[in-house]
Amino acid sequence: MKQAKNDMIVSLKDIYVEFDGEMILNHINLDIKDKEFVTILGPSGCGKTTTLRIIGGFLEPECGEVFFKGEKINGVPPHKRNVNTVFQKYSLFPHLNVFDNIAFGLKIKKTPKDEIKKRVKEMLSIVDLKGYEKRSVSKLSGGQQQRVAIARALVCDPAVLLLDEPLGALDLKLRKNMQDELKLIQQKTDTTFIYVTHDQEEALTMSDTIVVMNNGSIEQIGSPADIYNEPVNAFVADFIGDANILNATMLGDCRVKLLGVELECVDKGFGVNTPVDVVIRPEDIEVVPPEQAKLVGEVVDVVFKGVHYEMTVMVGKCEWIIHSTEMSPVGSKIGMKIIPFNIQIMNKLFLAEENTFFAEVVSSSESENYIEITLEDSTIRIDGVYYEEGARLMIQLPPKALSIAGDGVGDLNDVYIESVIFKGEHNEIILESDKQKWLMQSDVDEQVATYVPLKFDFNQAVIKPVEAKDET
C-alpha cells in the first residue's frame, strides 16, 4: 500500500472549488505519477487552470485534500512547496535581466554565488539561450521569454513543474518546436511536468498521460492512444482529433444500428435497444465500391490535406468525414466499410429523448386562451392552451423545440452551454439551467462554456395535466 503511494507524486482527493457561487471543480480526484509528462486538457472554463493553481498553492479548495509525496499539503503556501510554475503570460520580472530572472529562486535559497552562476549557465544551455545572460527580458521574443520562464522555474530543481498554457501566445511553427523541446527538457531533467492546454494536438504530442476535463469534472484519464482510440464519451471523442460522432442504437452485444443499417462492433454490455453515441475516426473508414458496403454515400467535397484527402460524404442527410489517400471525385457514389474494431460505442452524455419538466399554472385566461407558468424563477407565457390556475402540468419539449433567443430575451436566461457536438445532421447541444439539463438540436454552432438565453417553442410541446403524485 505504501509502495503504491510513493509512486504518486501529487494526489488530489475530492477537490471542490466554487467561485462567486459558481462551481469550478466538482469533486475531482486525480493521481499524478512521478516523472511523467501529464497534460490536463479541456476547453476554456473547464477548470484545468484552477486544478493547476491548487497544486501550486495559489488557491485553496473549498473542500478536498491535496497530497504531495503522500503528505497532505493543504494550507502550505506556494513558497514552501517544492513545485514551480511556468505562467501563462510568462511573468518574467521586468526589472531584472535574463540572468537575474533565472537566478531569482536560487538567490532566495541563499545558494553560493559560484553555484548560481554554474546552474544558470547550465539551464540556459538546456533552453538553448546561451549568451543571453545580460539581455533585458522585455527585448526578447515570445519564444525566448517562454524559455527563460521555463529555465527560471526548472533551475530551482522542483519535483513538479506546472505549466499553464505556456505556448498559447506563440505562432504555430515556434509552438511545434517548443513542444518537442519541452518533451526533451522533461526527459533530460527527469521532472514531473503537469501541463495545461486546450490544444489537443499539443496534448497528444507531448504527454505520457492525458487528463481530459470538462465543466469542472474529469471525463477521462489515459495515454494519448487510449484517449484517441477509446474515448469514453462523445465529448472526449469530439475534443480529441477529427471524428464522426453519430446517434445509434445498440441492438445487443456486438450489434449496433446506425442510420438504419445494422453493423457489427466489438462492444458488449450496453443492453438491448439502448441509445448510444458512436464514434468512427475519419481514417478508419475504407472506401470501397458501393455494392460491397452496407453504408453508401455521395462525395460532396474533397480537400487535399497533404498526407491524405479529406472527403465530405453525405449518407442520406447525414454528413461524414473520411480521410483517405485515394481521392474519389465529387459526385461519385462510394461504399464505406468499417471494421468492427473501429466502431467505438459510448454511453450518451445525457440520456433523454425529450426535455420534460413539471410546472404549475400561475395565471391563465380562458377567453384569451393562454396560461402562464413559472420555471426556475421566470414566468413563461404559453399561448393557445388553457388550464385552470393552480393546475399541475407536465410539459415535454423535443430537442428541436429549443432554440437560443436571437434577441437576447429567452424564456430561461443565463443557461450554460455544457457541450456542443456535431452529430452528422445537426448539432446536439447540452445546456444546463439552475435545476436541470436540456438537450437541444440546432443547425447553428454555439460557443461552449457560455451563458445564453434559451427559448422554447411550445407549438411542438406535449402538455398534459398531472396529479402531484405522478411526478417523478
Per CB under 8 A, which region of 26-34, 79-87, 184-192, 358-366 contacts other proteins? 79-87
Q: Residue 26 and residue 242: Cα distance in Å, rounded?
A: 28
Amino acid at 411: D
Of 77, 22, 74, 75, nearest to 47 by C-alpha is 22
**Distance from C-alpha of 119 to C-alpha of 133, rounded to nearest angstrom:** 12
The answer to whether the CB of 457 falls within 8 A of the CB of 401 is: yes
Q: How far is the CB of 97 from other proteins (least distance, A)?
A: 6
Distance between CA atoms of residues 192 and 32, nearest Å? 9
- Amino acid code (one letter) for 73: I
**Are 258 and 268 a contacting pair, CB within 8 Å?**
no
Reduce the DSSP state of residue 356 to 3 states and report it. Answer: strand
State CA 158 to chain mean position distance: 28
Residues in binding contact with other proteins, number by CB under 8 A: 26
Q: What is the DSSP letter of 290?
A: G
Helices H / strands E in the chain, number of each: 9, 30
Rounded Cα distance between 425 and 323, Å, is: 19
CB of 358 to other proteins, least distance (A): 40
Among 77, 112, 260, 331, binds other proteins (CB under 8 A): 77
Q: In this chain, which stretch among 99-107, 139-147, 297-305, 363-371 interacts with other proteins, using CB under 8 A?
A: 99-107
Distance CA 101, CA 115 (A): 16
Whether residue 117 contacts residue 123, with contact meaning beta carbons closer than 8 Å, is answered with: no
Counting contacts by CB under 8 A, is residue 94 touching other proteins? yes
* Residue 198 sits in the site that holds other proteins (CB under 8 A): no
Candidate segments 74-82, 264-272, 361-369, 432-440, binder of other proteins by CB under 8 A: 74-82
Please identify, using beta-carbon distances, which residue of 110 and 305 lies nearer to other proteins: 110
Q: Could you tell me the sign of the dihedral formed by the alpha carbons of 180, 185, 188, 191, in that order?
A: negative
Q: In the 8-state DSSP scheme, what is residue 90?
A: B
- When asked if residue 100 is in the footprint of other proteins (CB under 8 A), the reply is yes
Least distance to other proteins, CB of residue 57, Å: 8
87 scored as a contact of other proteins (CB under 8 A): yes
Q: Point out which span in 92-100, 175-183, 289-297, 440-448 binds other proteins (CB under 8 A).
A: 92-100
* Near other proteins in 103-142, by CB under 8 A: 104-105, 108-109
User: Residues 21-60: x/- map of binding to other proteins (CB under 8 A)?
Assistant: -----------------------------------x-x--
CB of 94 to other proteins, least distance (A): 7
Which of 51, 84, 214, 233 is in the footprint of other proteins by CB under 8 A?
84
Task: Give yes or no for a contact between 436 and 452, defined as CB atoms under 8 angstroms apart.
Answer: no
Work out how close the CB of 211 gets to other proteins at its nearest, in angstroms, rounded to a whole number: 22
Angle, helices 98-108 vs 142-154, to 10°: value is 20
Q: Which of 247, 275, 430 is nearest to 355 (CA)?
A: 430
89, 113, 333, 464: residue in contact with other proteins (rule CB under 8 A): 89
85 near other proteins (CB under 8 A): yes
Residue 87 forms beta bridges with which residues?
Answer: 90
Which 353-382 residues touch other proteins, going by CB under 8 A? none
Q: Which is nearer to other proteins, 108 or 466 (by Cβ)?
A: 108
Contacts with other proteins, 139-168, as mask; x by CB under 8 A? -------------xx--x------------
Which among 43-51, 93-101, 205-213, 248-256 is the span making contact with other proteins, rule CB under 8 A? 93-101
Binding site for other proteins (CB under 8 A): 56, 58, 77-79, 83-85, 87-89, 91, 93-97, 99-100, 104-105, 108-109, 152-153, 156
